[in-house]
Structures are given as structure tokens and as C-alpha cells.
Amino acid sequence: QVQLVESGGGLVQAGGSLRLSCAASGRAFSTYDMAWFRQAPGKERQFVAAINWSGGSTSYADSVKGRFTISRDSAKNTVYLQMNSLKPEDTAVYYCAADPSAYGSGRYFGSHYNYWGQGTQVTVSS
């Protein structure tokens, strides 16, 4: 069982930066694949980024590639999403997700993750 708690969201101007954190409880965190998804009002949940259990492989949505970086610190049981050059279209609730075996072809799909955080709001003003 893994519990996830996101933090770091807020209001930022376009072009600014934020770093989201996702703190995980549970001894098996280091064996879990992790991901960030987001959902804007009236829109479907969207894949943002994923990282495999070792941190050796990452994937990004085209819309954030080159601007966002996902990383993990297993000693702190935490996964991060560094967001730079933010745009108004990045405004959404950002969710952290975890699963023991999501980092395959299904890593882009929320249905492949069994554990979710409560979300943190990111608002980018123009």
C-alpha cells in the first residue's frame, strides 16, 4: 500500500517556475514506477511525465518536453516535477500516481496506476 501527498502548487506568472513534490509512504516506494498527470477544468486527465522505479528512464508528454523534468529521491520517498517556462495552458490540478509495474507501454495511461494523490492546483496567469 502506498499513500501519496502532493505539494508545491500555486499561482505563478507565465514564464515562471514551480516544483511539485509527491511524498510517498510505504517501504516499497523505491520499487514503484511514478508519474504525474494533470486535469484542467472540463478536460480529461492528461499524462505529463513518468519515471521508472530506478530513475533511469523518464517519459514526457510532447506539450511539456524540454520544460518539465521529473525526478525521484528514494532516500526521501519523494518524486518531483520541476516545471519551467510555464504557460497558461499548464493550468490544472496535478496528480501524482504510483504503481509497481506501470512503466511499460501503458505508462501514459492513468488506468495503469493503482495509487493516486489528492492533487495540487497549479495556476499560470498570462
10-residue stretch averages of pLDDT, the chain, 126 residues long: 94 98 88 96 96 94 98 94 98 96 86 95 97
- Among the listed residues 82, 76, 79, the one whose alpha carbon sits nearest the alpha carbon of residue 22: 79
How high is the pLDDT of residue 65? 98
How high is the pLDDT of residue 105? 83
**Residue 112 phi, psi dihedral angles, 5° rounding:** -90, 0
Please, which residues have CB within 8 angstroms of residue 121's CB and are 6 or more apart in sequence?
Answer: 9, 10, 92, 93, 94
How high is the pLDDT of residue 30? 85
Please, which residues have CB within 8 angstroms of residue 4's CB and are 6 or more apart in sequence?
Answer: 22, 23, 24, 96, 97, 98, 115, 116, 117
